[in-house]
Amino acid sequence: MDEVLNSPAAKEMLLDHVLGHLLAGSTFEQDPAKLLPEGAPNFRSAFQAELDALGFASNVRNVTMVNGSGNSTGTGTAGMQVIDTTLDIALFTTADVNLHFMPAANENINVSFFETFLLGSSVDLFSADASSSAVSDGVDSSPGGTGNISSALSGAGNNQVIMDFIAALEQDDYSFIPTISALAIENENDWYVAPDIGGIHNSGFVNTFIPDVNESHTEVTAASAAFALAEIRQQPLGVSETDLANKYLLVRNPVGQQIQLKLDASVAYGSVEVSVTAITGQQLFSKKVLNPSQEISIDHTLTSGIYLLNIRDADGEYHLKFMVR
C-alpha cells in the first residue's frame, strides 16, 4: 500500500494525499495545522499545471463517458465510519482500528485511529484528524466512479490479519474519480453538486454520458457501451456541421424528461427546427423555435432507446445521437 500511495500517479492525481499533511521530517506523523485537503507537494500542482497547458484536443469531437452519478448521489456519507474493530496482529498482540471518511463541510473529525496492545497494555498509538472546506463535504463519499478497499487489499492472499480487516469493513466503496473531476469542470468547488454541462459548468466536451448511479471506476455498462457505439458510428460531419457543433450542446445525455440544448451566447439565432427520428429513420416529432436564446428545451414521451436529433437553421444541419434511459 505504501508503494501504491507513493507512486508518481497517486501523488500527481490525488486531490488529498498523505504527504500533504506530514510534519516536517516525518514519514507518517501528522502536522496538526494541515487538516484541510492538500495534494502531494511538488506533484499535484505541477501535474495540474501541465494538464491546463495541454488543454483539450483540437480539431476532434471531444466526448466523454463517466462512471459517477450526475444527480448528486454520494458514495456512502461524509464522515461515516468505515471500520471499528480489534485485530489479532500476532501472539499476545492486538490492534484497535477506527477509520472514517472525510467529514462534512466545515467539520473536523478524527479519521484515522490505530492503537496496539501487548498482553492488554497499550504500546503504541497513531491518530489523525481531518477537516473539510466550508463549501463541500469530503471527497471520499462524493458522487464518482468508485473503488473499493477490499479489492485494493486482495493481493494479501491468505494473510489472516488482512482478511479479518476486510471482513470488518462497514463501508467498502469510496469515490475514486469524482464526477466533477471526470467531467473536467474547473469552476466548481463542491464535489456533490449535479453537473450542469450546458449551464454554469463549462466543459470541453460536446457530448457526455453521465449515469444516475455511481458505477465502478472504468465499468462499461450496456447504456454507456451504446453511447460509445453511437458516437463511433456517427456519419462524418461536413464543414457546415462542424461549425454548428459549437452552436448546439446537449445539456445531458442520456436525456431526462426534456431534451435540452445549450446555445452559444455569441450567436444570433433565427428560426431553428428541431426534429427527432428513430434509428430506423422514422420521424417521431418536429418543433420549430423562433429566435431562441440561451437554451432550447423540448418535452418528450420517448421510450428507452437511441435516437437521432436533427437541428436545422439558416446555416445548415447538425445531427446528434442521444439516449433515453
Which residue ranges make up each domain of the chain? 1-55, 81-177, 234-324
Alpha helices in 130-287 (DSSP H): 149-152, 160-167, 179-182, 222-232, 239-244
pLDDT tens, 38-84?
999 999 999 999 998 998 888 888 899 999 999 999 999 999 999 99
pLDDT for 125 equals: 95
Q: How many CB atoms lie within 10 A of CB 314?
A: 8
The model's pTM is 0.73
The pLDDT confidence band at residue 167, using thresholds 50, 70 and 90, is very high
Q: Kindly list the strands in the beta sheet with 305-313, ordered across the sheet, starting from the edge strand earlier in the chain.
A: 283-290, 271-278, 305-313, 316-324
Given its phi and psi angles, is residue 137 left (phi above 0), alpha (psi -120 to 50 degrees) or beta?
A: beta
pLDDT for 3 equals: 85
Q: Is 261's pLDDT higher than 70?
A: yes
Q: Is 248's pLDDT higher than 60?
A: yes
Buried b / exposed e over 51-64, threshold 16 CB at 10 Å, is eeeeeeeeeeeebb
What does the pLDDT average to over 229-252?
64
- What residues does 274 pair with on adjacent strands? 287, 311
pLDDT tens, 191-202?
999 998 877 887
Q: Is 236's pLDDT higher than 50?
A: no
> Which residue, 20, 26, 27, is CA-closest to 43?
20
Q: Is 106's pLDDT higher than 90?
A: yes
217/240: higher pLDDT = 217
For every residue of 32-92, DSSP letters joined together read TT--S--PPTTTHHHHHHHHHHH-S-SSS--EEE--S-SS---SS-TT-EEEEEEEEEETT
Residues whose CB is less than 8 angstroms from the CB of residue 101 and which lie 6 or more positions away in sequence, other chains included: 76, 77, 78, 79, 80, 82, 111, 138, 140, 141, 171, 174
Mean pLDDT, the chain, whole residue set: 89
CATH code matching the domain that covers 234-324, chosen among 2.60.40.3080, 3.30.70.520, 3.30.1340.10, 1.10.1060.10: 2.60.40.3080
pLDDT for 237 equals: 43
pLDDT tens, 49-61?
999 899 888 888 8
Burial of residue 281 (CB within 10 Å: 0-12, 13-18, 19+) is: exposed
> Which residue, 126, 132, 143, is CA-closest to 109?
132
pLDDT for 323 equals: 87
